[in-house]
Structure 1
Amino acid sequence: MSALSLTFDTQRLAEKYEELSSDRQFKQGKWLIEELNLVPEERVLDVGCGTGLLAEHVADIVGPSGFVVGVDPLPLRIAIANRKAKSNLVFRVGNAYDLTEFGENSFDAVYLNAVFHWLAEKEEPLQHIRRVLKSGGRLGLTTGSKEHPNRLLQIRREILSKEPYNAFPESRSGYPHWVSVAELVWLLDRNGFSISKVEVLENVIHHANADAAIDFSQASSFGNFLGHLPDELRKSAIAEIKQALEALRTSDGIRLEGRRIVAVAVRK
């Protein structure tokens, strides 16, 4: 379905993601959850739950009479998430392309926090989500804006477009699979959702140095940042990316500016 691989993830990357996402994806996700207006006793599905930080937060909101399920295709991240499991919170290895283990009308809300851009084909997941949502159930998602990539992704694209890196198909495919607001609106409407809210928000990330920026990108992409390259080429690509990033560093570190889309929709 895409050049993305689930095999590049490692225990180190999974643990690093748990550490770094607490200050980034988790904070953005809490804002998304506020927009979903979750209440006690609701049943919620977290698609692409990662190491489970946001699902744990949601389980506290819906309370002991509610229920939260987190699914993610990466077993190492589910293993970390399972440390947070409790009576109203469970985690399973699974993905957005196959939600058949859940019956129709199973959930009051479904969300994808910093996940939608990892889905190369987006209509099938939306159809699965619509099926498992109750009538009037809410879908929330945050995703990068196609029209506002940050400088690190631009640097990566520029470097991987050159020889010898461009000999590898994954170099040409690009990542992630972002959408514009217009594309997202079209996708949601086409797949049975009424849009309640769509916003484009500033997304600024500060890194102390180039190593920190690359660490975050490797962890959040589950190794896909440069994982497709042979070891020696990966080392040289990292060196080139570091050099370009360090040119952007000020006394405050490296500031990477982009935009993210936040959307809330209701199943028709």
Structure 2
Amino acid sequence: MADQIATERAKMPAAHNPVLERRTVENANQNLLKFLRPGIHVLDVGCGSGAITRSIHEKVGATGFVLGIDPNPNLIDQARQNAPDHAGLAFEQGDVYTFDTAERFDVVTCSRTLQWLAQPKEALLNMKRFVKPGGFLSILDFNHEKLSWTPEPPMSMRLFYDAFLAWRKDAGFDNAIADHLDGLMRQIGFQSIQVEPQFEISRRGNADFAVTSRLWAEVAELRGPQLVKAGYITEEQRLQAISEYDNWIQTDGESMTVYLLAVEAQQT
């Protein structure tokens, strides 16, 4: 029952997700840039609609190979539609716990995905199998408990955000997964581990502030109906959070800091 709840809550709604499609390696996974070079092979676990995967492919070039996997068939369909007939770029539906391939990769990357898994250690163990000797496992994820706004957003958004964390926690997801990754990597046998802050900071005055700071309004639009259905908030509260938060962005909002860490280890 618990596994079923986690699976259902992790499932990405079918509606268009603008956050996924505006991500690239440069703006959302820049920790990978130090690894990417022409000719290498990369596995992107939890690739979503493939925006970052396509960006990785641009870096490894025609002599490289990039495989994106995701359990959501709708997202894999989108990824294939967005990247037709690209040699060296492929997408497969695959579960992070059970996916298997004879291919071994120079880099296995998993970005913002472990936050949606109730058994992250088991997922890391499976991903570790696909890293070549000398290759790297690169994990990027959040500590949602350390999100900060200046000044505080409207109470309606705080109510939504606290409900979002409770909804996740009750499904078995680790809201502070970023700060636990180092320990998990050591538990599965890695010795030399590098932790790099990759905080996403939106500041008024930045050209994209109105877009990037709206992340949680977009979450309320996309994921909010799931919270309503599960009884964590009402539909009226969800809509109020979106409206009042959008007004905060236009008026009082100065900055938002999303706590994000890259945790990387080399295969011996």
Residue identity opposite 2:97 in structure 1: Y
Question: Pick from 57, 62, 65: which aligns with 1:64?
Answer: 62
Aligned to 1:191: 188
Equivalent residues, number: 250
What is aligned with 2:133? Answer: 135
In structure 2, the residue corresponding to 1:13 is in which secondary structure?
coil
Normalised TM-score (structure 2): 0.76
Distance 1:252 1:20 in 2: 25
Of residues 210, 223, 226 in structure 2, which corresponds to 1:208? 210
Q: For residues 30-179 of structure 1, what are the structure 2 equivalents within 5 Å?
A: 31-35=30-34, 37-83=35-81, 84-85=83-84, 86-100=86-100, 102-103=101-102, 106-150=104-148, 154-159=158-163, 170=167, 173=170, 177-179=174-176
* Alignment of structure 1 residues 216-227 onto 2, 5 Å: 216-217=218-219, 223-227=222-226
* Structure 1: runs of 5 or more not aligned: 162-168
Which string of whole-angstrom CA distances, capped at 9 and with x for unpartnered residues, describes residues 106-131 of structure 1? 11110012222122211111111111
Root mean square deviation, CA, Å: 3.5
Per-residue deviation, 1:32: 1.9
CA distance in 2, matches of 1:173, 1:115: 17
Q: By how many angstroms is 1:139 displaced?
A: 1.0
Alpha-carbon separation, structure 2, partners of 1:201 and 1:64? 29
Paired position in structure 1 for 2:206: none
Q: Take 2:182 and 2:230, find their aligned partners in 1: how far apart are those partners?
A: 40
SS at match of 1:39: coil
Secondary structure of 1:208's aligned partner: helix
* TM-score normalised over the length of structure 1: 0.76
The aligned counterpart of 1:13 is 16
Q: CA separation in 2, counterparts of 1:135 and 1:194?
A: 14
Tell me, yes or no, if the aligned pair for 1:197 and 1:263 is still in contact at 8 Å. Answer: yes
| Cα separation, 1, equivalents of 2:120 and 2:168 | 21
For structure 2, the 5+ residue unaligned runs are: 204-208
Distance in 1, Cα, partners of 2:238 & 2:120: 30
Identity of aligned residues (%): 20
Query: d(CA) in 2 for partners of 1:183 and 1:122?
Result: 10
Is residue 76–residue 93 contact of structure 2 (8 Å, CA) maintained in 1? Answer: yes
